[in-house]
């Protein structure tokens, strides 16, 4: 567990909820190179404007948006993490959507 030397508190506990992706979800994309470009495009598309000006300086979706998506996908209060199979299915849908629209 990492702690800040001056404060002694767990630094990871302060990370925004949107940063905490389940490792299985990340690995589900990492092992599918055909989804890498789509995942990067989606990540930048969902990132709020000016993401580079705010910590953690990553193009991550807004926490409220993610919570809304989790509520609409899984119900409850939105605290349920995304299922890795659903993430892969969503990325495949995003990748195939332009071809489906042109039909």
The answer to whether position 46 is within a domain reads: yes
Residue 51 belongs to some domain of the structure:
yes
CA pair distance 20, 18, nearest whole angstrom: 6
Omega cis (within 30) before 56? yes
Total domain count for the chain? Answer: 1
Residue 38: inside a domain, yes or no?
yes
Q: Indicate whether 83 belongs to any domain.
A: yes
CA-CA-CA-CA torsion for 37, 43, 48, 50, nearest 10 degrees?
-50
On whether the CB atoms of residues 16 and 64 are closer than 8 A, the answer is no
Q: Considering the domain boundaries, does residue 82 fall inside one?
A: yes
The answer to whether 16 touches 63, Cβ cutoff 8 Å, is: yes
Per the structure, the complete domain to which residue 58 belongs is given by 21-102
14 within domain boundaries? no
- Would you state the structure tokens that stand for residue 97, as one six-digit string? 């959507």
- Residue-level pLDDT, tens digit, the chain, 103 residues: 444 444 444 444 444 444 456 788 889 999 999 999 999 999 999 899 999 998 888 888 888 888 898 898 888 888 877 788 999 999 999 999 876 666 6
Question: In this structure, is residue 16 part of a structural domain?
Answer: no
In a domain, residue 6? The reply is no
- CA-CA distance, 54 to 63, in Å (whole number)? 13
Partners of 3 in the β-ladder: 10
């Amino acid at each position: 567990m990492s702690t800040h030397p001056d404060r002694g508190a767990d630094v990871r506990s302060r990370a925004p909820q949107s940063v905490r992706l389940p490792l299985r979800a990340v690995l589900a994309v990492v092992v599918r190179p055909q989804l890498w470009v789509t995942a990067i495009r989606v990540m930048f598309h969902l990132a709020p404007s000016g993401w580079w000006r705010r910590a953690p300086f990553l193009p991550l979706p807004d926490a409220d948006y993610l919570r809304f998506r989790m509520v609409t996908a899984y119900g409850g209060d939105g605290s349920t993490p995304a299922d890795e199979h659903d993430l892969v299915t969503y990325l495949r849908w995003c990748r195939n959507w332009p071809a489906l629209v042109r039909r």
